[in-house]
Chain A
Amino acid sequence: MSENAIFRAEGLSKTYPGVKANDNITFSVTEGCIHALLGENGAGKSTLVKTIYGLVRPDEGRMWLGGQAFAPADPHAARAAGVGLVFQHFSLFDAMSVAENIALGLDNPPPRRELAERIATISRDYGLPLNPNRLIADLSAGERQRVEIIRALLGHPRLLIMDEPTSVLTPQEAEILFATLRQLAGAGTSILYISHKLDEIRTHCDRATILRGGRVVDSCNPRDHTARELAAMMVGGEMRDIDRSGRRPGEVLLQVRDLSLAPLSIDGTSLKSLSLDLRAGEVLAIGGVAGNGQEELLSALSGEITSAPGTIALEGQDMSRLGPVARRRAGLLAAPEDRLGHAAVPGFSLVENALLTAAPRQDLAPGGMIRRAAARSFTERVIAEFDVRTPGPDTAASALSGGNLQKFVIGREVLQDPHVLVVNQPTWGVDAGAAAAIRQALLNLAAGGAGVIVISQDLEELLELGDRFCALNEGRLSDPRPTDGLSLDEIGLMLGGAHGMEAAHVAA
């Protein structure tokens, strides 16, 4: 297999202060093959990608590309050698046009008119329709990714790296992406596909290299293994099944009627006459692609934005005109999506962050005087019960890893004994172990008689947690459907399908 290897890494190591991000990594990618790089957050995938793309220099080890020694000093050198990268967090320039964005990623861009023609050609060939004159800010996530892909393809890469490309796509958009990748692989481009989504790797990838703690733990054909086996290799131990028992829907706790709301920002979405009922002991899953009104819905429920009288009622009491503190007192709690900045103050300690939301219900600041000891013990309880890995309750929120901070943010609300808890993206960017813990906590909360609303883009999570599922699409909420028997395809259609994306229509 090494004869037709297009890329080979041998003994790559990179140490950051206190952490060995890559430890003696050796693997090779065969020509014309879709090769998965599988691992949890912190397994060293990003460092490896940055090394191949010339953004990070390895401390040790060597690489070969197309049979030649390969040690890129910067991304220009990597691109010149034939490496293309589609970033996970898009490296796009919002206020600039598609053509300008693409030109910025090429080393010798052709004149404007010729570039526009080449963009048109390549987008036709690969079924990635794109208007070169549109602003990035006006594009959907799927379209933005197309810009990244076309930018990478215009460099004629021999090795195309895709860093978690499907995390922002609907299932249908993802299918189109895979059709494109297949076509590319058929034409001889090798693809290094980075993900932690086991199912798509099992369906679409020819090889998988599994990373854990900066090391290669295994290399296999993912089609020969079950998702559970791959997960075990990735996490290093058996995954525990989620326990969904013990829940009985009770009376309606939260009633939303005809909730309409203007967008929060210019690129936000307005809520259009939304209605829902949430029962005690029930988890309502709300799915949708980002930017379809999730932020607006969470803000309306949490009380950050008030709505017309009579639109939101908790246990028969009108909440619509109340602010977040009053709603918290009444038992309606929320945990927003953005943990650094919205759910938590990055520079504040965990104790201070706990105070910010828990003060009303836990009586941590009676008469405006902070009870430090009580706040501290509440924080310690969150840390202990939710297994938050931190040096102590006085550590700044920004010093915690994403998964640990997320456990803290969710735990802080769960332990306040809410009647209704609304969470947005509870496991976004969190590794599998922490995600499982958070999901279990939400289910336990519902089993205890609370109502839970989970807003998420992760459809598998929604199916795993929810009793009923609604799709939020352009600010409209679909009728709820029981999650039992609901397939991913059906959900994809409920979410608005592929948003006008079309499949590759050129014979490969």
Chain B
Amino acid sequence: MIDPVSVFLMLLSAATPLLFAALGELIVERSGVLNLGVEGMMITGALAGFAAADATGNPLIGFAVAAIAGCAISMIFGVLTQFLLANQVATGLALALFGLGLTALFGKPYEGVKAPSMALGPLRIHWIVWLGLAMVPLIWWFLQRSRAGLILRGIGENHHAAHALGHKVHLYRLAAIGFGGAMAGIGGAYISIATVLQWTEGMTAGAGWIALALVVFSGWRAFGVLAGAWLFGGVTVLQLRLQAAGIAVPVQLLAMAPYLATIIALVVISARRKGSAAPGSLGKIFHATS
């Protein structure tokens, strides 16, 4: 009844928006910044990407524009928190709401428009899915093996020490926030351009929040993010299949399953882990005192 290969292909697709957004947020949090505005950046990318793809007829240009738009809106957060020392939690929440409101306003003309069709990559899997998969080892390598990644982790772990050693705390964090914004933008655009194939208001449907949870669930590790994204994607696909198969469980309960599974996994993993793997300076404002 359920073909494992096709389920896996669907899983890859369902996991992709989360994978992008969570990998981006992973870099942001590893630099010691907590940006809760992932949802806002995703939906901005979803609309901007969709609009660009519609205007040019080229979905890949759509993804590029989505990255730029996500990065641009993340800079609001970046400037507010890094230079004006605004509270990160409040600013992040505001960014999420701002993105949702802004796209609801400017998205009106695109409602009912159909996305341009796109070419598939190897194994009939979309290029963006491949890109997302490639980002996992790339980000692992960046964090664990590269000089810049080491400094980024150092800044996230103890910004005072990093500053005392002469590393540019605000610069690295701003770059991380911008990267997180771009990744969230691509993740959002994947929903509008590649899966739903049209624009609807609020279409990211909480994916940004799940991405935030995945970062914690992963223990701030790239491959952990991949596992979390696949778990969420897998349960999503499974429940859709079960719905389609007409199983006698209320649809609402099935639709709830991916979120429930993620929360349970989070709880189990957090309970088993000794201490916290969170970056030491996560969410704290850095202000050089000298």
Q: Hey, which chain A residues are within 8 Å of B167, CB to CB?
A: 104
Q: Hey, which chain B residues are within 8 Å of A373, CB to CB?
A: none
Q: Decide: A91 and B160 in contact? CB cutoff 8 A.
A: yes
Given contacts A55-B290, A93-B154, A95-B280, contact A109 B166 (CB under 8 A): no
We find that the number of chain A residues with CB closer than 8 angstroms to chain B is 22
Q: Decide: A94 and B280 in contact? CB cutoff 8 A.
A: yes
Residue of B nearest to A54 (CB): B166
Give B239 Cβ to nearest chain A Cβ, in Å.
37
Residue of B nearest to A103 (CB): B150
List CB contacts (< 8 Å) of A107-165 with chain B.
109
We find that the number of chain B residues with CB closer than 8 angstroms to chain A is 20
Give A297 Cβ to nearest chain B Cβ, in Å.
23
Given contacts A91-B158, A91-B165, A93-B157, contact A104 B290 (CB under 8 A): no
Complex: A316 Cα to B158 Cα, angstroms: 48
Q: Decide: A100 and B166 in contact? CB cutoff 8 A.
A: no
Q: Decide: A93 and B290 in contact? CB cutoff 8 A.
A: no
Complex: A93 Cα to B31 Cα, angstroms: 13
Give B284 Cβ to nearest chain A Cβ, in Å.
14
Task: Name the one of A75, A90, A100, A266 contacting B275, with C-beta atoms under 8 angstroms.
Answer: A266
Q: Decide: A104 and B162 in contact? CB cutoff 8 A.
A: yes
At the interface, yes or no: A443 with Cβ under 8 Å from chain B? Answer: no
At the interface, yes or no: A56 with Cβ under 8 Å from chain B? Answer: yes
At the interface, yes or no: B151 with Cβ under 8 Å from chain A? Answer: yes
Q: Hey, which chain A residues are within 8 Å of B272, CB to CB?
A: none
Q: Decide: A93 and B161 in contact? CB cutoff 8 A.
A: yes
Complex: A95 Cα to B274 Cα, angstroms: 13
Complex: A75 Cα to B150 Cα, angstroms: 18
List CB contacts (< 8 Å) of A84-112 with chain B.
87, 90-96, 100, 103-105, 109
Task: Name the one of A76, A90, A105, A109 contacting B147, with C-beta atoms under 8 angstroms.
Answer: A109
Q: Hey, which chain A residues are within 8 Å of B150, CB to CB?
A: 100, 103-104
At the interface, yes or no: B164 with Cβ under 8 Å from chain A? Answer: yes
Residue of A nearest to B279 (CB): A95
Complex: A300 Cα to B147 Cα, angstroms: 45
Given contacts A100-B150, A104-B150, contact A92 B158 (CB under 8 A): yes
At the interface, yes or no: B221 with Cβ under 8 Å from chain A? Answer: no
Give A378 Cβ to nearest chain B Cβ, in Å.
34
Q: Hey, which chain A residues are within 8 Å of B161, CB to CB?
A: 90-93
Q: Decide: A94 and B165 in contact? CB cutoff 8 A.
A: no
Give B238 Cβ to nearest chain A Cβ, in Å.
36
14 A-B pairs with CB atoms under 8 Å apart are A55-B164, A56-B290, A90-B161, A91-B161, A91-B162, A91-B165, A93-B162, A94-B157, A96-B153, A100-B150, A100-B154, A103-B147, A104-B151, A104-B165
Interface residues of A (CB under 8 A from B): 50, 54-56, 74-76, 79, 87, 90-96, 100, 103-105, 109, 266
Interface residues of B (CB under 8 A from A): 147, 150-151, 153-154, 157-158, 160-162, 164-167, 274-275, 277, 279-280, 290
Closest 10 CB pairs of A and B: A75-B166, A91-B161, A93-B157, A91-B164, A104-B154, A76-B166, A74-B166, A56-B290, A93-B158, A105-B165
